[in-house]
Amino acid sequence: MQAVTPDSEYLNKWPIFFLVAAGVFLSTMDSSMVNVALPSIMRSFAAPLVQVQWVVLIYLLSITVTLLLWGIVADRYGTYIVYLLGVGVFMSGSLACSLAPGLGLLIGFRLIEGLGAAMMMSAGPALIRMVFPRDQLGKGLGLVGISTSAGLMSGPLVSGFLISSFSWRMIFIVSIPLCLLILVSGTVLYKRSGSASGHGLNNRLFDWRGALLWATLIISFILYGNFLPDLNRLQQAAGALWLLLVLLLFVWAEKNRKSHILPLHLFGKSYYHIGLITSALSFGTLFVILLLMPFYLDYIKHLSADMIGLVMMAVPLTLFIVAPSAGMLFDRLGSRYLTTGGLLLSFTALLLLITIGENSSVITIALRLALLGMGQSMFLAPNTASLLTRIHDVEAGITSGLLATSRNLGMLVGAAFAGIVFAAWFSHFSSGSELRHFTPAQVPVFLQALRATFSCTAAVSFIAVVISWQRKS
């Protein structure tokens, strides 16, 4: 994208902020709507959880394996172009999802939707960084948290209403008008910025070999984890060796090429790798809860879809208040105490969620989910700002892409972990039964499996707390 003066950048600060905020709202609303719809989709296609979870997994997988690509493309050709193209691809995928006649096609169309979301996610933070002064970046990212909370809050509510009144297909149609609005307003703003014919900030070569190996590594890891329970020992060993081989090839390729898909010179800095690792762990633990709680509220508490949406709103509700405050506090306090404190709150919430049972009140459940959301929102903006305030302009796009990759990799692994581990525990405690064959007599089995899965999740959350405390500031 053609360089513009700082004054003109800051003059366009708020229009560009609202453009990015609208895209964040769109993608987060879609994610939260689909999570609530999973029980309905399972019934609609009469499929087991390990298959239905791919409606979530494929979306996150397509985002995770392509975010770095879009970050580099944004650096080279311009963040506006990548962002607006992402909105268009996302809209096309949403329309196709609403018309999918079978689970397989629904999963395929969700892949397209994920590609569009990846383009928006990689370009959005870079746009914010471009137009906000460095001393206000924490505030800007914190304000984006309001849009995140609005999307996450409205998603369950809108999803529950649409499923109860129509069907789960309507959750994909509802995002199309907003996509059109973003495209029209974004195109007008793009032309007015004077960068319609400009180029990116740098012309570095793209590391196609590294990108292919990265995609192969992530896809292989998720597939291996998904099918691991069904493999014999020889197949498990072969799969592990394949993952190790791809990992070694990826590291070798990155070290022996002039162009890299990963900025290796930044990974040696503690603030960089700590920020990425804790981001992945934080969102991984969050997505375990977001994927499994709708099933608990449906199967154990017998709530309707609209009520499930209302309860799940408790997770993002606190983002509306906490995220902007955390962003502004970062500008004064730095990241160490805010990020670690936020992760500690999330860990506490997970410990409390382990104790929920058949007779737990809806208010008690909602309060514990709200505490989890508070911890996540306290962590997110300071963690993002801790990286983006310390890098050069030419690395803004790739760093934004890496941050989004770490978040989505965490969500991807968390969603896979939730489905695989919970299904394994449920099968173990029920002597081989599947969740799709759930009966009221299996309520104790469901709760045992849920508590075991949440206990494992809490252990991972505590590891994130320890790692975050290693920050120097």
85 pLDDT tier (thresholds 50, 70, 90): very high
Same domain, 97 and 119: yes
Same domain, 334 and 256: no
Say what the pLDDT of residue 3 is: 40
Say what the pLDDT of residue 197 is: 37
399 pLDDT tier (thresholds 50, 70, 90): confident
pLDDT tens digit string along 169-215?
999 998 899 899 988 888 887 777 654 433 444 555 566 777 788 88
Q: Using CA atoms, how far apart are residues 69 and 471, in angstroms rounded to an integer? A: 28
Q: Using CA atoms, how far apart are residues 290 and 412, in angstroms rounded to an integer? A: 12
Q: Tell me which amino acid residue 195 is.
A: S
Same domain, 295 and 418: yes
| pLDDT of 42 above 60 | yes
Is residue 473 within 8 A of residue 333, CB to CB? The reply is: no
pLDDT tens digit string along 419-446?
888 988 888 888 888 777 788 888 999 9
Same domain, 283 and 428: yes
Same domain, 50 and 187: yes
Q: Is residue 473 part of a domain?
A: no
Higher pLDDT, 36 or 100: 100
Higher pLDDT, 472 or 84: 84
End residue of a domain, out of 260, 294, 325: 260
Same domain, 376 and 414: yes
| pLDDT of 417 above 90 | no
Same domain, 329 and 190: yes
Question: How high is the mean pLDDT of the chain?
Answer: 81
For residue 295 the two structure tokens come to 């099933």
Q: Is residue 1 part of a domain?
A: no
Say what the pLDDT of residue 24 is: 81
Say what the pLDDT of residue 386 is: 79
Say what the pLDDT of residue 321 is: 73
Q: Using CA atoms, how far apart are residues 184 and 79, in angstroms rounded to an integer? A: 16
262 pLDDT tier (thresholds 50, 70, 90): low
**Highest-confidence segment of 15-29, 206-220, 296-310:** 296-310
End residue of a domain, out of 232, 260, 288: 260
Q: Is residue 11 part of a domain?
A: yes
Same domain, 84 and 221: no
For residue 144, the domain's CATH number is: 1.20.1250.20
Same domain, 271 and 185: yes
pLDDT tens digit string along 230-245?
778 898 899 899 999 9
Q: Is residue 183 part of a domain?
A: yes
Taking residues 355-367, report their average pLDDT. 93
Q: Is residue 451 part of a domain?
A: yes
Same domain, 230 and 316: no
Say what the pLDDT of residue 457 is: 95
Domain count, the chain: 2
Say what the pLDDT of residue 400 is: 67
Q: Is residue 434 part of a domain?
A: yes
Same domain, 192 and 252: no
- Nearest Cα neighbor of 92 from 66, 73, 111, 72 is 111
Percent of the chain at pLDDT > 70 equals 84
151 pLDDT tier (thresholds 50, 70, 90): confident
User: Which residues neighbour 102 within 8 Å (Cβ) at sequence distance 6 or greater?
Assistant: 45
Higher pLDDT, 226 or 257: 226
Q: Tell me which amino acid residue 192 is.
A: R
End residue of a domain, out of 243, 260, 277: 260
8 pLDDT tier (thresholds 50, 70, 90): very low
Q: What is the 3-state secondary structure (H, E, C) of the chain?
A: CCCCCHHHHHHCHHHHHHHHHHHHHHHHHHHHHHHHHHHHHHHHHCCCHHHHCHHHHHHHHHHHHHHHHHHHHHHHHCHHHHHHHHHHHHHHHHHHHHCCCCHHHHHHHHHHHHHHHHHHHHHHHHHHHHHCCHHHHHHHHHHHHHHHHHHHHHHHHHHHHHHHHCCCCHHHHCCHHHHHHHHHHHHHHHHHCCCCCCCCCCCCCCCHHHHHHHHHHHHHHHHHHHHHHHCCHHHHHHHHHHHHHHHHHHHHHHHCCCCCCCCHHHHCCHHHHHHHHHHHHHHHHHHHHHHHHHHHHHHCCCCCHHHHHHHHCHHHHCHHHHHHHHHHHHHHHCCHHHHHHHHHHHHHHHHHHCCCCCCCCHHHHHHHHHHHHHHHHHHHHHHHHHHHCCCCHHHHHHHHHHHHHHHHHHHHHHHHHHHHHHHHHHHHHCCCCCHHHCCHHHHHHHHHHHHHHHHHHHHHHHHHHHHHCCCCC
Please give the residue range of the domain that contains residue 216: 207-260
Same domain, 16 and 147: yes
pLDDT tens digit string along 314-341?
887 776 677 667 767 776 776 788 889 9
Distance of alpha carbon 139 from the chain centroid: 21
Q: Is residue 432 part of a domain?
A: yes
Q: Is residue 441 part of a domain?
A: yes
| pLDDT of 296 above 50 | yes
Q: At what angle do helices 396-429 and 362-388 cross, to 10 degrees?
A: 150
